[in-house]
Homo-oligomer: A and B are copies of this chain.
Amino acid sequence: MEKTKVGIIGLGTVGAGVARLLLDHGDRTARHAGRVLWLEKAVVRDLKKARDCELPSGILTDNVDDVINNPDIEVVAQLIGGIEPARTIMLKLLKAGKDVVTANKALLAEHGAEIFDAARELGRSVAFEASVAGGIPIIANIGQCLSANQVTSLHGILNGTSNFILSKMQDGDDYNTAVAEAQRLGYAEADPTMDVDGTDAAQKLSILAHLAFGARAQWKDIPRTGIDKLQVADVEYASEMGYKIKLLAVADLVDDGLELHVSPTLLKAGSPMAEVNGPFNAVRVDADAVGRLMFYGPGAGQMPTASAVVADMIDTAVGRTKLTFQTLELWSNRPARVSPADYAGARGRFYLRVNVDDHPGVLAQITKALGESGISIASVLQHESTSPGEPVALVIMTHETTEAAAAKACQTIASLESVRTAPVRMWLRD
């Protein structure tokens, strides 16, 4: 049987999973690829560190040049996180004639143009299924299976850490307890900032927006709010009104372009996206021919991510990736097919929570502020005060309005004398 020699750079959690699939299940990859994927070299920083996989002797090296300069290695899984040295190694691999597979979404979101241009110029390919939504094959589904469609809307729960934390808060934990639990179970890093502040989801969304819409969105330009300021009170009020809060990455094609944002969002309980719990991811895709599809699965973790990486390695070894790669619109120099829509004009419903002094006339002031912004109220919830003198929470669900109108109304409300803190505002979707 033919043999394709492959290398792995970085034997962390995912890298070790990839090595195990290649070494322990060679029959499987051979069957699907019609050839053996032969692990020739695995590069690590520290040769002495204990690892989560057993390697035959001669494979492990701490010199990345053993892969870059080995002309027999055709496909490389580049599994180093962060920007450098990942970027430099990536470009060297491409220049050395390797096809590359990666799970590094931050690198693609930051330096996609440079990397994809280099790959195209050198006639190489970059496969990146594992960079978005972990084990869910969303890249293949959008880039290939939906090619007869114009995607019109893409809503994703793309950050498993945030979703785990939100699920715990749904069960009654406060934010800090939920974060600690996520860290204990390995769902959150020691510093979870990039996950909980919406950065990770925005980076993934920018990749999907390139792929599905031919957009040229930079992740830094995507308006994003994380879950790091979310209070358990809001989770409880949402729940009381029949909603669950999810960190939703949204790409909607509207009249004036592509609306992109990452926001904590109230979703109607019982709707498929609202019921995605724990560290799972889900992507809902609306497209003009097929209608609505939904994909659900593990958003991270060693073997789900390794599953995506090895599928990419097989596709690359077989030659499929090269055929797909040439027509993908990822950071291509073709003109963008869609421009970003102005976030201020984004239409939708909102959840507002205002902490107010329990005085007569406060509700009237607030509804007046909303009315002046042209916002009409769909429902209001205010419980009786349990501790006199303390502010009470006023929860309002609006009818459809714009982001700008909602922001303006909240500004006015925040300036009212009876209002203690800036209103909490979130998108609301049925």
**25 A-B contacts, Cβ less than 8 Å apart?**
A17-B289, A25-B150, A28-B148, A28-B149, A34-B326, A34-B327, A137-B146, A140-B145, A145-B311, A147-B310, A147-B314, A148-B311, A148-B314, A270-B275, A272-B272, A272-B275, A289-B303, A289-B307, A291-B297, A292-B297, A292-B298, A293-B296, A294-B297, A296-B296, A319-B323
| B145 & A25 in contact (Cβ 8 Å cutoff) | no
A33 cross-chain contacts in B, Cβ below 8 A:
147, 327
Contacting B at CB under 8 A, from A326-368, are 326-327, 329
Closest B residue, CB atoms, query A139 = B145
Contacting B at CB under 8 A, from A115-158, are 129, 135-137, 140-141, 144-150
Interface flag for A180 (CB, 8 Å): no
Interface flag for A19 (CB, 8 Å): no
Contacting B at CB under 8 A, from A293-325, are 293-298, 301, 303-304, 306-311, 314-315, 318-320, 323-324
> In the docked arrangement, what's the CA distance between A28 and B149, Å?
8
- 1/0 contact trace for A145-178 toward B, CB 8 Å? 1111110000000000000000000000000000
* Residue of A147, A150, A289 with highest tally of chain B CB at under 10 A: A289
| B149 & A307 in contact (Cβ 8 Å cutoff) | yes
Residues of A within 8 A of B (CB): 17, 21, 25, 28-29, 31-34, 129, 135-137, 140-141, 144-150, 270, 272, 275, 287-298, 301, 303-304, 306-311, 314-315, 318-320, 323-324, 326-327, 329
Closest B residue, CB atoms, query A22 = B148
A31 cross-chain contacts in B, Cβ below 8 A:
327, 329
> In the docked arrangement, what's the CA distance between A149 and B326, Å?
27
Given the interface pairs A33-B147, A145-B137, A323-B320, the reply to whether A291 lies near B315 with Cβ below 8 Å is: no
> In the docked arrangement, what's the CA distance between A135 and B291, Å?
8
| A289 & B304 in contact (Cβ 8 Å cutoff) | yes
| A296 & B314 in contact (Cβ 8 Å cutoff) | no
> In the docked arrangement, what's the CA distance between A37 and B272, Å?
36
* Residue of A290, A307, A309 with highest tally of chain B CB at under 10 A: A290
Residue among B150, B290, B304 making CB contact with A290, cutoff 8 Å: B304
Residue among B147, B292, B295, B296 making CB contact with A32, cutoff 8 Å: B147
| A324 & B320 in contact (Cβ 8 Å cutoff) | yes
User: Distance (Å) between the CB of A211 and the closest chain B CB?
Assistant: 11
| A272 & B296 in contact (Cβ 8 Å cutoff) | yes
| B29 & A147 in contact (Cβ 8 Å cutoff) | yes
> In the docked arrangement, what's the CA distance between A291 and B278, Å?
14
| B306 & A291 in contact (Cβ 8 Å cutoff) | no
Given the interface pairs A303-B289, A320-B320, the reply to whether A140 lies near B144 with Cβ below 8 Å is: yes
> In the docked arrangement, what's the CA distance between A329 and B31, Å?
9
User: Distance (Å) between the CB of A73 and the closest chain B CB?
Assistant: 19
User: Distance (Å) between the CB of A132 and the closest chain B CB?
Assistant: 13
Residue among B145, B290, B311 making CB contact with A146, cutoff 8 Å: B311
| B148 & A25 in contact (Cβ 8 Å cutoff) | yes
Given the interface pairs A34-B326, A323-B318, A323-B320, the reply to whether A290 lies near B135 with Cβ below 8 Å is: yes
- 17 further interface pairs, Cβ-Cβ under 8 Å (given A144-B311, A295-B295): A21-B148, A25-B148, A32-B147, A33-B147, A135-B290, A137-B141, A140-B144, A141-B141, A145-B308, A148-B307, A148-B314, A275-B275, A290-B297, A291-B298, A293-B297, A320-B320, A320-B323
> In the docked arrangement, what's the CA distance between A303 and B32, Å?
31
Residue among B275, B290, B301, B308 making CB contact with A298, cutoff 8 Å: B290
Given the interface pairs A137-B141, A311-B145, A315-B144, the reply to whether A327 lies near B32 with Cβ below 8 Å is: yes
User: Distance (Å) between the CB of A269 and the closest chain B CB?
Assistant: 10
> In the docked arrangement, what's the CA distance between A137 and B293, Å?
9
> In the docked arrangement, what's the CA distance between A304 and B288, Å?
9
